[in-house]
């Protein structure tokens, strides 16, 4: 139960981050929060662009902040979408998450639902040059 409490606390940080999202095109405000292996917290939100391919997901925003601060290992990740539907991290985010943690515990939630999982479950038979 303590494990889930840590993830639920992290989910609250992701929910706070979702309020900062720039999502004028999709309307999906997403927030992410990372806890590193050193216990450091990083948050991120999605940032859209009128040239859709230049948008960035909340998960990758948080990860890039983590890396730019000099950390390299994700222990736990929470993702919150301000919507009724539940959305797991996209394929690109799954690959980036895996790059920085092979055993990442993940919680993702919407206004109505919540799911606990791991990166191993979300990205089986993952690609890596380091394995």
Question: What pLDDT is recorded for position 128?
Answer: 82
Three-state secondary structure string covering 28-91: CCEEEEEEECCCCEEEEECECCCCHHHCECHHHHHHHHHHHCCCCCEEEEEEEECCCCCCCCCH
- Give me the number of domains the chain comprises: 1
List the domain range (segments joined by +) for residue 110. 2-122
Residue 127 lies in a domain: no
- Cα angle 55, 60, 62 (rounded to 5 degrees) comes to 120
Question: What pLDDT is recorded for position 3?
Answer: 63
Residue numbers annotated as active site: 59
- Domain with residue 67: its CATH number is 3.40.140.10
Q: What is the pTM assigned to this prediction?
A: 0.94
Residue 130 lies in a domain: no
Classify residue 4 by its DSSP letter. H
Q: pLDDT in tens for each of the 131 residues of the chain?
A: 466 899 999 999 999 999 999 999 999 999 999 999 999 999 999 999 999 999 999 999 999 999 999 999 999 999 999 999 999 999 999 999 999 999 999 999 999 999 999 999 999 988 888 76
């Amino acid at each position: 139960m303590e494990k889930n409490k840590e993830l639920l606390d992290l989910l609250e940080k992701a929910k706070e981050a979702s309020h900062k999202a720039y999502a004028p095109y999709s309307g999906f405000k997403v927030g992410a929060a990372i806890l590193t292996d050193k216990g450091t917290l990083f948050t991120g939100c999605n940032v859209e662009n009128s040239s859709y391919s230049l948008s960035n997901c909340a998960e990758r925003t948080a990860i890039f902040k983590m890396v730019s601060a000099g950390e390299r290992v994700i222990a736990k990740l929470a993702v919150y979408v301000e919507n009724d539907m539940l959305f797991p991290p996209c394929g690109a985010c799954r690959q980036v998450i895996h790059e920085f943690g092979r055993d990442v515990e993940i919680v993702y939630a919407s206004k109505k639902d919540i799911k606990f999982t791991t990166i191993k479950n979300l990205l089986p038979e993952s690609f890596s040059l380091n394995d």
